[in-house]
A = this chain, B = another copy of it.
Amino acid sequence: MKKTILVFSALIIALLILFRLSRYSYLSNDISVELTIGSIAVIFFFVGIYINKRTLHKEKLPHTQIDHKKIEQLGISKREYEVLVHISKGLSNKEIADTLFVSESTIKTHVSNLLVKLDAQRRTQAIKKAKELRILAI
């Protein structure tokens, strides 16, 4: 936030300076008009890049949108998805069963269904596929 304000302030100041500069070049009427315009273009080009980099950095890292539509498309139920999340955390079936207060048999059933729905042969493969499909945060 602070940086954005600072950058915009700098942007406005630069704009004002360039206005002054343009007046001089206008009075001296030679190729410096083209030069001025060129430098303005280059400066604002890089200003754009800089600002974009600032904003993207703060958004891209925590921003890993989960494709809820995809989850629905694959027919993965709420509970199955919960299990999938726990699998990706590296938990065993027994551990997942304990955290969700159900039996290990239940988890096995969920896992088995998940593997079919994700077209995976192993839980590790399920993790990889789920991340590729953007249904799990990478």
Contact = CB atoms under 8 A, between A and B. Distances in A.
A37 interface: yes
B138 A121 contact: no
Contact of A48 (B22, B29, B46, B88): B46
Q: Is the interface of A mostly helix, strand, loop or mixed?
A: helix
A90 B126 contact: yes
Given A26-B29, A29-B26, A49-B51, A120 B90 contact: yes
A37 B120 CA distance: 58
Contacts of A51: 49
A124 B90 contact: yes
- Which 9 residue pairs are nearest across A and B when measured between Cβ atoms? A48-B48, A90-B125, A52-B52, A45-B48, A44-B44, A90-B128, A48-B49, A90-B124, A49-B52
